[in-house]
Amino acid sequence: MKRTSLFLVLALAACQRNPSRLDDMKAGSGAVATKTATGSATVNMAPAQDIDSHDILNRTETADEVVVKHVLISWKDLGAIYRGQQDQRGKDRSNADAAKLAQDVLSQLKADPSKIDALVQQYGEDPGAKSGDPYTVNKETSFVPEFKNLALRLKEKEAGIVKTQFGYHVIQRVAPPPPDPIESADILARPAEKGPVSVLHVLIGYKDAPAARDPKAKARSKEDATKMVQEVLTKAKSGTDFKQLMKEYSEDPGSKDSGRPYDVTADAPMVEPFKKLSLRLKENEIGVVKTPFGFHVIKRMPPPPPDSLDSADILKRDPVTQKAKVKHILLGWTDNHTEDPRGTKRTRAELEKLVKDTVAKLKKGDKIEPLMAELSEDPGSAKSGQSYDVTPDAGLVEPFKNLSLRLNKDEVGVVKTQFGIHIIQRVE
């Protein structure tokens, strides 16, 4: 990524992708850091001074959506949360020094709000923020709550401080940037659907995109990226198979070769511009949007037909609970898989037999945990036997959530998502 923004790498949760389980099965670009079957991780915050802007946090009025820039300042006690990506300045800094610096940065911004970019460059430890591009925050954005709570209460040009497990954030609300000329402004101006909608995308990065990962992107100018986007658009609109365009052009390692679609909802943990365009496209319509990863050429697909393995009888029910705890076995096959080599090599016929046999064992009373360890291709829960909490507003892919909330306790069901086939058992 150039070192991708902590917002995009460690969660899309105001500086962080929760670093575990199916959260790591992303739309490779990070455009969709999708948390398939997981909730947010619980993180113990290191001792810190209370320098939060309580006057702002105590406000009852919040904005629907804001655009912000921030200066992230960490200290040495936070090293574990960064998983080796902490800025060296933070590694060498005490909490007292971090608090003092954050207060000094806030004072400078209150005196002169126009200094935000210079202060981000001078002191900020979020690599993605150094591009100068702001972050969009709304009520559905999967940012850590502390960051979101402050951001949505700021008035334009106002700044405040809030601490998260990643350090002190000096956040300033700024004016939304104008759209890039190649973006689909007409589509972005439409009202959004709630979703889910299913989309394919071609990611084309460039060297100034803060989260660009692909080596080709890091060597490409924005002008050359724009030309490539126009080329892809022309081919797509003339009828070239979109999945073939993904193979030829896309730099999203999570979907370019598999042709995997992504399910997008308003509360999906994805970068906001990607969600905004996806939820405004009509079926089979194509548009362009810019994110910190580069340009995305996005095509909305018709809803996929139910998979023959889906538990159609269970999915027809009304939800039986508003909160379920589930465990699952993820199985892929040649047409729909994660990076697990078992899924990449498995035929559809082999998948169907394995699903049938595994469901039969569970219904007979076999414990799911040994089967998870043996079979599941979810790297986060397979070996640990971890369960996931599911609620209607959980940041999970919709099919997984829909089935989980319709299962009775101890019941087993099957559903397909963009990651493969999930055999799910409700345990509580």
Residues of the chain with pLDDT > 90, as a percent, come to 69
Q: According to the model, what pLDDT value does residue 343 have?
A: 94
Helix count (H) and strand count (E) of the chain? 17, 12
- Long-range interactions of 349-355: CB distance < 8 A, separation 24+: 351/309, 351/421, 352/308, 352/309, 355/309, 355/331, 355/414, 355/421, 355/423
**CA–CA separation, 133 vs 141, rounded Å?**
17
**CA–CA separation, 102 vs 92, rounded Å?**
15
> pLDDT of 312-321, one tens digit each?
999 999 999 9
Nearest to 168 by CA among 91, 71, 80, 83: 71
**CA–CA separation, 186 vs 288, rounded Å?**
11
Query: Is pLDDT above 70 for 152?
Result: yes
146, 154 Cβ separation under 8 angstroms: no
Written as six digits, the tokens of 77 are 């006690």
Name the residue with tokens 């490779």: 28
How many Cβ atoms from other residues are within 10 Å of residue 3's Cβ? 14
Q: For the chain, list the domains and their CATH numbers.
A: 43-174 (3.10.50.40), 185-301 (3.10.50.40), 312-426 (3.10.50.40)
> pLDDT of 222-250, one tens digit each?
999 999 999 999 999 999 999 999 999 99
Q: According to the model, what pLDDT value does residue 127 have?
A: 82
Name the residue with tokens 């193979």: 247
The b-or-e profile of 124-138 (16+ CB within 10 A means b, else e) is bbbbbbbbebbbbbb
> pLDDT of 381-416, one tens digit each?
999 999 999 998 787 888 999 999 999 999 999 999
> pLDDT of 41-72, one tens digit each?
344 556 789 999 999 999 999 999 999 999 99
Rg (CA), the chain: 22
Query: Is pLDDT above 70 for 116?
Result: yes
**CA–CA separation, 41 vs 34, rounded Å?**
14
Name the residue with tokens 């219904």: 363
Residues contacting residue 193 through CB under 8 Å, at least 6 positions apart: 279, 280
31 — pLDDT class (breaks 50, 70, 90): very low
**CA–CA separation, 366 vs 393, rounded Å?**
31
**CA–CA separation, 129 vs 16, rounded Å?**
13
Helices 116-123/95-111 angle, 10° precision = 160
The percent helix, strand, coil of the chain (3-state, each to 5) is 35, 20, 45
Q: How many CA atoms lie within 13 A of 379 on its CB side?
A: 14
Q: According to the model, what pLDDT value does residue 44 have?
A: 55
Residues contacting residue 327 through CB under 8 Å, at least 6 positions apart: 368, 369, 372, 381, 385, 386, 387, 388, 424, 425, 427
> pLDDT of 262-294, one tens digit each?
888 887 778 889 999 999 999 999 999 998 899
Residue count of the chain = 428
Q: What is the mean pLDDT of residues 331-338?
A: 91
Written as six digits, the tokens of 111 are 């005196």
> pLDDT of 353-366, one tens digit each?
999 999 999 999 99
